[in-house]
Amino acid sequence: MKKLIFSVVLIISLLFSSILPVNAFEITSFEVPGEAAALVSLDTGEVLYGKNMDKKVYPASMVQIMAAVVILENVPDLENFKVTMTESAYNNILGTGSAILHLKIGEELNGKDALAAMLVSSAGDVIYAYCEAVAGSIDGFVKMMNDKANAMGLSGTHFTNPIGLHDKNNYTTVNDIITLTKYAIETYPVFSEITSKSRYKMAATNMRDERTIVTTNFLVDTSTNYYYTYCTGTKTGYTDEAGRCVTATASYNGYKYLAVLMGCPSGATRVEFTAARQMFRWAFNNFEYKAILDTASPVAEMPLRLSMQKDYVALYPEKQLTSILPKEADNSTIIINPTLKKKSVDAPVKKGDVLGTAEILYAEQVIGNVNLVAGEDVSANGLLKFFDIIRKIFTSLVFKIILILIVLCVAIFSSYVVYINTKDKKRKRRVKYIPYDEEKELLKKEKIRKKREKAGRPEYKGDIDDE
């Protein structure tokens, strides 16, 4: 059977984030600062650039992304939810050094304004008040954050407080920040709505008039030198130990990306914003979507048995695959390596049956996998199927075991018969047979009786042989 070899000649970066090599493309035009960083496609999940994505880093105020997720999960009606500044929340925030909104004890905010104070300006006093409103206590809220992290599979993340104060046990990874941010964006539209704003006007409270808060994300703030017109959010963070941190999104011409930078140095220049902007420009200017596989083109053939129609079935990708590739990609090195589940398949076969997988390689690295399915229905031939059933019976393990048992039984029985016959012959050779003549014996006895009568002797009751 001839195997169909299918080769696609395109340079590819990645297919799915879960199987992508980190740092599939090198950035040579500028330096990416910080301890860890990544640039990923929000459309496909592909990682265009990555550095130390699984390294433990301190998140600073970026923990508030998880705080927002917990709030949004538990407060369905933000507008009518009340967040009150309690005395305990007020006392807990004192001396922490956290950014605050300067709420007064007893001051009430609606849920959306309180969420905006968290996400736009990282207001720690509002966060503590929100924790008590949702969970009854700060510790209870932190437990909810960790429970959610575990449920989301954020294995490199642990929280000890909801505002990002430094603690050696308050940590995360770039990979987890990507997962968390994508979840917040995709699940809760209000999250992106709030984090996209450079200014947010809060409604008057029971103690204050309207006020406007200003974002800490300079990428969306037109009044700064770091403004990037295509940036659409989201959150920043900073402590001395964590360094400068940012997770930001950008959208242009149908492409959406997420940049994460952690542990960037502090200084007169905010390098985290400069680098994020450069990463976005690099992606928008150098990459585009290209089709890698389509469901109409076969990838391999599989030998087919028990059919008179054909002796092979063509295998197709289960779904179309598209990847973000360099614009200058020259038809070169991507290879699709099919692997069949078994050497052949028996008819009948149904269109869509999964019969193998295709491994996609670029630069000698596995960058993707796709199921291969039968491209058509193929019926079985009745006669071929009957003979195959007979063949299977005679070659089955059960049949072989039964046959062996029968042979053993015959051998044992035959051995027993031979043994009995041999024993009987030996016994007959040991015993001498003397034939008994009854008529002659009677004549002898009669002769003795007459002899006694003639002699006038009494009849003898014993054996006549005694005389």
Q: Give the model confidence (pLDDT) of 417-454 as tens digits.
A: 888 888 777 766 665 555 556 677 777 777 787 777 77
The DSSP string of 18-57 is GGPPTTSS---SS---SSEEEEEETTT--EEEEESTTS-B
| pLDDT score, position 462 | 52
pLDDT at 465 over 70: no
* Burial per residue of 365-390, b for 16 or more beta-carbon CB atoms within 10 angstroms, e otherwise: eebbebebbbbeebebbeeeeeeeee
pLDDT of residue 419: 82
Domain residue spans in the chain?
A: 31-288, 294-379
Per-residue confidence (pLDDT) for residue 431, from 0 to 100: 52
Asked whether 35 and 244 are in contact (CB, 8 A), the reply is no
Domains 31-288 and 294-379 share a fold: no
Which residues, other chains included, contact 272 with Cβ-Cβ below 8 Å and sequence gap of 6+?
33, 34, 236, 244, 245, 246, 261, 264
What is residue 436's predicted lDDT score, i.e. its pLDDT?
58
User: Are 372 and 301 a contacting pair, CB within 8 Å?
Assistant: no
Q: What's the whole-number mean pLDDT along residues 31-55?
A: 94
| Helices within 356-460 (DSSP H only) | 382-395, 397-430, 438-455
Q: Mean per-residue pLDDT for 119-126?
A: 97
Compute φ and ψ for 368, nearest 5 degrees: -175, 160
Q: Tokens in use for 137?
A: 């206590």
Its pTM stands at 0.74
Q: Is the pLDDT of residue 310 over 60?
A: yes
Residues whose CB falls within 8 Å of the CB of residue 367, separated by 6 or more in sequence, listed in order? 12, 13, 14, 15, 19, 20, 21, 24, 360, 361
Please give the class, per CATH, of domain 294-379: mainly beta
- pLDDT per residue over 145-179, tens digit each? 999 999 999 999 999 999 999 999 999 999 999 99
394-405 tens-digit pLDDT:
787 877 888 788
The confidence score (pLDDT) of residue 435 equals 57
Q: What is the pLDDT of residues 24-41, one digit of tens each?
A: 577 778 899 999 999 999
Contacts with 368 (C-beta within 8 Å, 6 or more apart), sequence order:
14, 15, 16, 19, 292, 321, 323, 359, 360
Q: What single-letter DSSP state applies at residue 172?
A: B
* Class level of CATH domain 31-288: alpha beta
Average pLDDT of every residue of the chain = 87
| 185-219: pLDDT as tens digits | 999 999 999 999 999 999 999 999 999 999 999 99
